[in-house]
Amino acid sequence: MIWWSVFIYRSIGERTMLRKSILTHELDDIYQRITEDKIVPVVPGIVGSDHRFMITERLPATGSIAKELTGIQPGLFLMVDEQIIKEIDRDEQRKKLMVTGESGLLALVVLISVIFLFKFVGLERRSLREMEEFWGRVSHEIKTPITGIRSFLESLRSGSISSEQLPGFIELALKQIGKQEKLAENVLTGSSFTNNIKLNIEKLDVGIFLLNYFDDHSLKLTKGEVMLSVAENEGITVYGDRYGLGVILDNLIDNAGKYADKELKLRVSVERSLEGAVISLRDNGPGFSPGQESIIFNAYKYAREELPDTPHGTGMGLFISRKLARQMGGDIEAVSDGVGKGATFKLILPGES
């Protein structure tokens, strides 16, 4: 690019010099005719019919193309019209300025291209790293339940489990199977977003839906205390997909119980809003620092500094939940007072407009 600019600059300068050189040669020819042939009257004014050349008593300015008629009429000068020289110089400056602008634009384009290239490469590397971490977590989540179930079945086959121990081991095995089902559900739901998953949107009484949901799922999803407050807000209707809402609640409650270092206490409430309704889930889990609100919803991500050292899950739960909420015309927001102070997740659902 620098070589190209230098070459163009040089070409413009050489063209200017050539134009002035031609004028100089023409002026020499006229001077020769005046001094030797004497066919042109030596009086101030335009030389013949060529308006480019003139005879003047005025001392030529610096940079002019001129000769003094010393042998014929001292004090008179044969010169090229100064406006022509100025126009040649202006033309040179315009072209050089144009080259400067084009060079600057080209340099800017190249710079922007390089920046985008580096960003693209960085994004590709980060995406690859995140996918490797994701599949590593998926592998861990798959192997752990299978190992537990295998151990239970082998112990059952060997007869080393007593009848008193059997119900407890069955309960553990069922929990491991539940983890596998949830993992498969999240992975399949996450992959279906690339194919624009279709939801069955219907009108729902949000209070009744929550009561039915917790009657069917709360004991299976987590240990701890769940406080549900919907009585004072009965009759709130929203539009949503039953299956999608179930997946969202599963993920939110699973996250709350998974990272809590003590017995989970979950407060669930619903209230009307201008958009429709807001379901709030307040937990006593680890919480997160201000500024982490958007990061925790990214695919394959953890707010690592906020979570326990032991890896859990695939990092897809909150990402899937927000995607589902937005496909229903709603959203999910997260707030926390800080690390160790729990978090509140607000599921916003559309109502009748």
| Phi/psi-derived region of residue 13, left when phi > 0, alpha when psi is between -120 and 50, beta in every other case | alpha
Tell me whether residue 129 is in a domain. Answer: yes
Tell me whether residue 301 is in a domain. Answer: yes
CB environment 268-291: b (16+ within 10 A), e (fewer): bbbeeeeebbbbbbbbbbbbbeee
Least confident of 3-7, 10-14, 316-320: 3-7
Is residue 347 predicted with pLDDT exceeding 90?
yes
Starting at the edge strand found earlier in the chain, the sheet holding 225-229 runs 225-229, 265-272, 276-283, 343-350, 331-335
142 shares its domain with 283:
no
- pLDDT for 141 equals 61
**Nearest-CA neighbor of 319 among 238, 248, 259?**
248
Tell me whether residue 230 is in a domain. Answer: yes
Q: Token pair for residue 15? A: 């063209």
115 shares its domain with 208:
no
- pLDDT for 182 equals 67
Count of other CB atoms within 10 angstroms of residue 205: 15
More confident: 38 or 159? 159
339 shares its domain with 231:
yes
Tell me whether residue 97 is in a domain. Answer: no
Report strand pairing: 331-335 vs 343-350: antiparallel
The domain boundary, picked from 194, 223, 253, lies at: 194
135 shares its domain with 253:
no
How many structural domains compose the chain? 3
Work out the average pLDDT over 209-221.
72
50 shares its domain with 148:
no
159 shares its domain with 248:
no
Tell me whether residue 98 is in a domain. Answer: no
- pLDDT for 308 equals 44
CATH classification of the domain holding 154: 1.10.287.130
| pLDDT-based confidence at residue 339 (cuts at 50, 70, 90) | confident
- pLDDT for 330 equals 92
Is residue 283 predicted with pLDDT exceeding 90?
no
The domain boundary, picked from 171, 194, 217, lies at: 194
Q: What pLDDT, in 10s, does the model give residues 87-110? A: 999 999 998 888 888 888 888 888
Tell me whether residue 251 is in a domain. Answer: yes
Q: Is the pTM of this model over 0.95?
A: no
120 shares its domain with 74:
no
Q: What pLDDT, in 10s, does the model give residues 27-80? A: 998 888 887 765 555 778 888 778 889 888 888 888 889 988 877 777 888 899
- pLDDT for 261 equals 63
Count of other CB atoms within 10 angstroms of residue 102: 13
Tell me whether residue 85 is in a domain. Answer: no
Structure-token match 């201008």, residue found: 274
316 shares its domain with 179:
no
Work out the average pLDDT over 136-140.
60
286 shares its domain with 328:
yes
The domain boundary, picked from 62, 80, 98, lies at: 80
What is the length of the chain?
Answer: 353
Tell me whether residue 56 is in a domain. Answer: yes
331 shares its domain with 206:
yes
Q: Which domain holds residue 224?
A: 200-350
